[in-house]
Structures are given as structure tokens and as C-alpha cells.
A and B are shown apart, each in its own frame.
Chain A
Amino acid sequence: MKKNQMIAIAIAAIVILAAFSTWYLIANKDKPVSVILATTTSTQDSGLLDYILPDFNSKYDADVKVIAVGTGQALELGRNGDADVLFVHSPAKEIDFVDQGYGLYRWKVMYNQFVIVGPASDPAGINGTALAKDALGMIYNTGSKFCSRGDQSGTHTAEQKLWTSAGYNYTGITMQSNSSWYLSLGQGMGDTLLTASEKQAYTIVDEATWFNLESGLDLVILVKGDAVLFNQYGVIPVNGTMHPAINEEMGVNFANWVTSPETQAMIANYTLKGNQVFTPNTDRKP
């Protein structure tokens, strides 16, 4: 009786697993060529990829697998030969990547904007400041709370550059361990915004994420439009000579496609809650 029970359970487990495996195999057989696209969370979370990728998949009979991570991790995936094409926003690091031979070339694709957000009470009085570096100076001088992602993401890199351009030593800021105003969180954008909202602190955010999350936050946009706040995205096909598993051809196809006039137009047409988020600006020579 007990033996039968055990056998029954074992059989049930095996049947369930077999069923799942079959389902899994069927679900995945005859799949078109898969391409691994390593990109930043912002392109995925903004919904842009869902909007434009079906076109690529049908044009090239491909199946783009999106790995949405931080820019640093995306570049690392490329270096290790685990991605076929990169779509990220950290120009200096991208150029390094290509210079080191990991990427074939890097083309600009589009940009979006960073904005400085903060509490409506605006203790540092930065509302409407034209230059981002002035705004940061006011935050610094008033010792107002500031949340940094602190995760070496594209957004974090951009923030570091802003502090430097405003004349501050960024390492100096982060090393002020006794300071209670600069909070380095080591979190994604959403978590950083939530924290900033809770603490009524300033932070820097890309517009796409902002439009997605603003309704749940007790923060407002205070500074936007400064050219240094533009956030440039680039595409890099990974160099296929590095590793046989890299699908260089599809990587190149993707770069060609995302910079083509049709796709660029699609990017411009994409809106999030009624706002255009990305401005196409490829530098690819036709």
C-alpha cells in the first residue's frame, strides 16, 4: 500500500516533468535564429523594445532575446561573448569597448533626457535653473538630500560626469562618509526614485522611467533641457572573431536595422503616457 503510494507519486512526478519538458520543447522547436541583445533596463522598461522589436523579428526571421541589465553588465556580457549586439547608453565606455576590439563599431541610435527631480518644497531652490551644474551646486551648498543610484549604471555614470563638470570631486563627495545628504543606494532606477520620494530627496532620472513611475511618487521635475542632460544611446555589434558562438551577422543586421530611417521613425513615434521619450539621432553614414 505504502509502496504503491510511493510509486504513484514517483510516476506522477515523472509524468508532470515529462509533460513540461515536452511542452517546453514544442514551444521552442523550429524557432527562428535567436539573437541575444544586451541592453539597459531603461529601453526594456520604457516599453520601446516591445514596440519596435516585432518589426526586426519579422524582417529577419529572427528571435531577439533581450537581456535587460545595467550598462556595465551589458558591456561585460559583450566582452565575455555572451551577447551578439549591445544597445546601451554610456558613450565613453562604449567607445572603449570598440577600441579594445570587442565591438565592430558603435553608432549613435537615439537619445533621451535626464531630468533632476526633487520634492515640490524644493529646499535647495533649484526649480527652473537652466544649467544642471548650477542646480547641483545649490544642492551641495544647502546640504539638501540627494539619492544616487550608486550602481555604475549609465544613469550613475551620467550623474558622476555632472558633478565633475560642476567642479566637484566626485570621489570626494562619496568619501564624505559622515555626510548625511549624499545617499549612494546601489539600486535600480525605480527603487532609487521610491527612496528619494520617501526621503524627500533630489535625484536624477531618465524621462522614460520618470513617465512610468511619476504617478506613484511625491516628487516633481525641477530641472530639464540642459544639453549635458542628454542621454545618448548607441548600438554595437559584438566582434564575432572573439568567439564562435557569437552571431555576428545578426548583430550587424540589428545595428543596420535600428539605425535605418524606418526604425528611426518608429522610435520618434513611440510615446509613453502621451509623451515622446526618445529622439532618434543616428550618426550612421547612409
Chain B
Amino acid sequence: MESDLLNVTLLSIFVSGTATLLASLLAIPLGCFFGMRKFRGKEVIRTITYTLYGFPPVVAGLVLYILLSNSGPLGSLQLLFTPTAMILAQTLLVVPIVIGLTMSAVSTTSKDYTETAIILGADSWRTARTVIHEARVGIISAVMIGFGRALAEVGAVMLVGGNIQWHTRVLTTAIVLETREGNFGYGLALGAILLTIGMIFFYLMKRYQDKGMLT
């Protein structure tokens, strides 16, 4: 049981961490781009990303299941019921959050800092770097919130992961299982581990964020 617990905990961190990392690599540049540029359809993009914040994880899972199923278009990849599928599902859920929050972090700092950078002689590349640098506190928050969503999510990983012991069982799906089995106490203990992981992560990011504000 103990090694099972360790396995479940590490897999949770691995899956949600990788998903957050992938989502950030994709979403931070996009969010910065959308936040800094003025273009037609910007408001549409903003509305879509905000709507997707509340995208039900089960639906994301269901869509991904249909794609990855052996009878689906991507079935030949054989990804269903693997951690990779779970990472994909959570990436889908985290991307809109990081895009949206990065976008607002960048666009609120954007105008004044852009003008200051331009005036002081920065080229457009340097101006973009400066604006992103100034928005870093907000961007770090975006990543933190994204990780929180990934870590706490259960519907999508349940569907595409299958909650298979030793393979695709993570903390949240284990909690569902324990609850079903009537082990409420153990379920709560797993919940506590989940919160602890979140707290450690948020603490580290917060420290980095504070440094970002001071240096």
C-alpha cells in the first residue's frame, strides 16, 4: 500500500507537472502575443479563453477519449489509458487558463511599458522582452493557477487514464476510488497529500515571484 501511495503521488506530480510545463511552453508565448498585439478578433479570443476556464474536465476527457480510442482517428497511437493521454488531457485544460491570465497580465502592463521602452530606444524584440519581463509576476501566477487546476482535476484523467493501479492512478482518481470503497478517512488523507503538494509548489513559485518583484 505504501509503495502504491508513493507511486500514485509521484504520478500525480509527473502528470500535472508535465502538463503544466507543456501548457506553459505553448500558452505563455501565445498569451504574450495576444496581450501585446492589437488585432481584430482579439476580444473574441479573450472571450473564448475565459469561457474555456470553466471547461468541464470530463468533457475535455471525453473529447480526448473519442480521439484516442482504438476506433477513433488517433487510435493507432495507442495512447489511451496511458499517462501520456492524461498529460494531454490536462494540457488541454491548462492552456486556456495560462493564455488568458498571461494575456491580461501582459496587456495591463503593456501600454505604459511599451511606450517607455520605445522611447528609450528599444527595438520591437527588446520591447516585447521588456513587457514580458514586467508582466512576469502575473505570468507566474498564471502558471501557478494552471498547475492547481491540473492537479485537482479528476474527470479527464479518470476517462482517458482509466484509473489503472500502478499505471494511471493519480491522487484524485485514487480519492474517487477510496470514497467509492467507503474508505473516507483514507480518501481524506490522500486529499491532504494533494493539498500539500499544491502548497509546496505555490510556496516555491511565490518565493520566485517575490524575487521577481524585488530584483
Contact = CB atoms under 8 A, between A and B. Distances in A.
A20 B14 contact: yes
A50 to B, nearest CB: 9
Contact of A24 (B14, B69, B184): B14
Contacts of B180: 41, 45, 188-190
Contact of A9 (B7, B11, B83, B208): B208
Contacts of B215: 1-2
B182 A66 contact: no
29 contacts: A1-B215, A5-B211, A9-B208, A13-B21, A16-B17, A17-B14, A20-B13, A21-B14, A24-B14, A36-B81, A36-B162, A41-B180, A47-B181, A65-B162, A66-B164, A66-B165, A67-B163, A68-B163, A80-B71, A81-B70, A82-B80, A189-B180, A190-B179, A190-B181, A212-B181, A212-B182, A243-B70, A245-B75, A246-B70
B17 A65 contact: no
Contacts of A216: 182, 184
A82 B165 contact: no
Contacts of A213: 182
Interface residues of B, number: 32
B30 interface: no
Given A45-B177, A65-B164, A190 B81 contact: no
A14 to B, nearest CB: 9
A194 B62 CA distance: 27
B78 interface: yes
B42 interface: no
Interface of A: 1-2, 5, 9, 13, 16-17, 20-21, 23-24, 27-28, 36, 41, 44-45, 47, 65-68, 79-82, 188-190, 212-213, 215-216, 243, 245-246
Contacts of A2: 215
B126 interface: no
Contact of B70 (A13, A44, A82): A82
Given A45-B177, A82-B81, A245 B70 contact: yes
Nearest to A49: B165
A20 B208 contact: no
B10 interface: yes
B10 A81 contact: no
Of the candidates A16, A27, A82, A189, the one having the most CB atoms from chain B within 10 angstroms of its own CB is A82
Nearest to A245: B70
B69 A82 contact: yes
A47 B177 CA distance: 11
A67 B182 contact: no
B167 A17 contact: no
B56 interface: no
Contacts of A45: 177, 180-181
A36 B78 CA distance: 13
A80 B17 contact: no
B21 A44 contact: no
B78 A245 contact: yes
Nearest to B167: A65
Contacts of B166: 27
Contacts of B181: 45, 47, 190, 212
Nearest to B208: A9
A185 to B, nearest CB: 14
Contacts of B11: 24
B108 interface: no
A136 B215 CA distance: 72
A20 B81 contact: no
Interface string B171-194: 000000101111010000000000
A44 B152 CA distance: 23
A80 B11 CA distance: 27
Contacts of B71: 79-82, 243
A212 B13 CA distance: 30
Contacts of A17: 14, 17-18, 21
A27 B82 CA distance: 13
Nearest to B78: A245
A200 B8 CA distance: 36
Interface string B60-88: 00000000011110010010110100000
Given A1-B215, A5-B211, A20-B13, A80 B69 contact: yes
A45 B178 CA distance: 8
A9 B13 CA distance: 17
Nearest to B181: A45
Of the candidates B7, B69, B162, the one having the most CB atoms from chain A within 10 angstroms of its own CB is B162
Contacts of A245: 70, 75, 78
